């Protein structure tokens, strides 16, 4: 039976994984609510995949405690496997089998009762729009179709918890949108989903997010909570010569990053008390600094987005170290 709203699907405390001298995951604490789409956001090499493999019981932690669906991991990993699904970023089904044959094979592997296999496959073929394609070889499908088939195979045994490791990295935006609609349908039906991604638009869709950087959990919360923590720290600079203005702004005290967006610049400042005056003062400060260099600009506050959050939590330490040097 799937967990109810308010229950916790995954809990991890001090989760750590070392590979020799490399600390791939460094004392991570996680709490994933049931029936949520929980996002793992981070650059390549941040520890997302390693964390997911430990939560699945595929990789033994070097340290820490894990409880998934009430089971202790890795001790009860074998019992957990009947209740979870796993979809990787690379299409891993049999390309020389048809759509239906792939589903039949996965149904047998996952222990779906024979008397229910046919009806379950028929249900998935209709739900994932394979009515006219069920006899087509998987290797001849488009990227979006392969993605849908992989998802259908991952949920054929109706898992309570679904892990998705960067599942949309190789498909077009329309296919990604359709894929995410399927994920929310699963969540509405009671499935908990943990999705790793490095795409900001996907992160914005999640109910809750964890951001990993070099194996460390640097932020956790809803997208609204995370962006709200940057209130007063993000600005738009309108400049006649944005490239020159960018070179000047990056050295302004309190500025953490500057990115060109079209003909404007998006500026992220460091936290209050670390060279960051009030928002109105920062606008004046930037305008005055550039005016003294012969640049006429107009600076105004703008709401933060998840890209700002990502930059703030992953670059703050590097920026401070650079200035200290």
Q: Count Cβ atoms below 10 Å from residue 282 Cβ, excluding itself.
A: 23
CA dist., res. 107 & res. 226, Å (int): 40
pLDDT tens digits for range 100-117: 999 999 999 999 999 999
Least confident window among 174-178, 257-261, 271-275: 271-275
- Amino acid 212: pLDDT: 93
Side-chain-side CA neighbours of residue 237 (13 Å)? 37
Percent with pLDDT over 70 in the chain: 94
List of residues 6+ apart from 244 with CB closer than 8 A: 295
What is the mean pLDDT of the segment spanning 169-180?
80
List of residues 6+ apart from 123 with CB closer than 8 A: none
Q: Count Cβ atoms below 10 Å from residue 71 Cβ, excluding itself.
A: 16
CB 123 within 8 A of CB 189: no
- Listed in order, the ranges of the chain carrying CATH 3.40.50.300 are 8-221
- Listed in order, the ranges of the chain carrying CATH 3.30.70.100 are 228-324
| CATH H superfamily, domain 8-221 | P-loop containing nucleotide triphosphate hydrolases (3.40.50.300)
- CA-closest candidate to residue 10, choices 134, 154, 137, 160: 160
- Amino acid 3: pLDDT: 78
CA dist., res. 180 & res. 182, Å (int): 5
- CA-closest candidate to residue 87, choices 187, 159, 30, 27: 159
List of residues 6+ apart from 137 with CB closer than 8 A: 95, 96, 97, 98
- CA-closest candidate to residue 226, choices 279, 305, 319: 305
CB 25 within 8 A of CB 48: no
pLDDT tens digits for range 285-314: 888 888 888 888 889 999 999 999 999 998
pLDDT tens digits for range 22-54: 999 999 999 999 999 999 998 888 899 899 999
Model's pTM, two decimal places?
Answer: 0.87
- CA-closest candidate to residue 302, choices 257, 263, 267, 250: 267
Q: May I ask the CATH class of domain 228-324? A: alpha beta
CA dist., res. 161 & res. 35, Å (int): 9
- Amino acid 149: pLDDT: 93
Q: Report long-range pairs for 291-296 (Cβ below 8 Å, ≥24 apart).
A: 293/248, 295/239, 295/240, 295/241, 295/244, 295/245, 295/248, 296/239, 296/240
Sign of CA dihedral 19, 21, 22, 27: positive
DSSP string, 88-153: -SS--S-TTSBHHHHHHHHHHHTT--HHHHHHHHHHHHHHTT-TTTTTSBGGGS-HHHHHHHHHHH
pLDDT tens digits for range 135-156: 999 999 988 899 899 999 999 9
Angle (nearest 5°) at CA 248 between 245 and 252: 125
Number of residues that this document lists for the chain: 325
Arithmetic mean of pLDDT over the chain: 89
What is the mean pLDDT of the segment spanning 202-227?
94
């Amino acid at each position: 039976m799937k967990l109810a709203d308010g229950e916790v699907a995954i809990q991890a405390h001090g989760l750590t994984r070392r590979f020799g001298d490399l600390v791939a995951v460094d004392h991570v604490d996680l709490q994933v609510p049931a029936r949520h789409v929980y996002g793992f956001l981070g650059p390549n090499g941040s520890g997302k995949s390693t964390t997911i493999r430990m939560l699945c019981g595929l990789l033994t932690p070097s340290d820490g405690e894990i409880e998934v669906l009430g089971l202790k991991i890795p001790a009860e990993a074998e019992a957990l496997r009947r209740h979870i699904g796993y979809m990787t970023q690379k299409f891993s089904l049999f390309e020389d089998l048809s759509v239906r044959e792939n589903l039949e094979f996965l149904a047998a592997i996952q222990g779906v009762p024979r008397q229910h296999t046919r009806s379950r496959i028929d249900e998935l073929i209709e739900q994932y729009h394979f009515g006219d394609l069920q006899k087509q070889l998987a290797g001849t499908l488009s990227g979006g179709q392969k993605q849908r088939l992989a998802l259908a195979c991952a949920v054929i045994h109706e898992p309570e918890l679904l892990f998705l490791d960067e599942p949309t990295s190789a498909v077009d935006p329309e296919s990604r949108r359709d894929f995410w609609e399927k994920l929310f349908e699963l969540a509405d039906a009671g499935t908990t989903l943990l999705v790793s991604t490095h795409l900001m638009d996907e992160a914005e869709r999640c109910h809750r997010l964890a951001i990993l950087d070099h194996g460390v959990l640097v932020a956790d919360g809803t997208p609204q909570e995370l962006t709200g923590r940057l209130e007063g720290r993000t600005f738009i600079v309108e400049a006649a010569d944005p490239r020159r203005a960018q070179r000047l702004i990056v050295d302004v005290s309190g500025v953490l990053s500057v990115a060109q967006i079209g003909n404007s610049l998006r500026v992220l400042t460091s936290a209050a008390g670390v060279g960051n005056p009030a928002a109105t003062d920062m606008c004046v400060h930037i305008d005055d600094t550039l005016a003294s260099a012969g640049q006429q600009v107009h600076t105004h506050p703008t709401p933060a987005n998840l890209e700002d959050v990502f930059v703030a939590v992953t670059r703050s330490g590097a920026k401070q170290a650079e200035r200290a040097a």
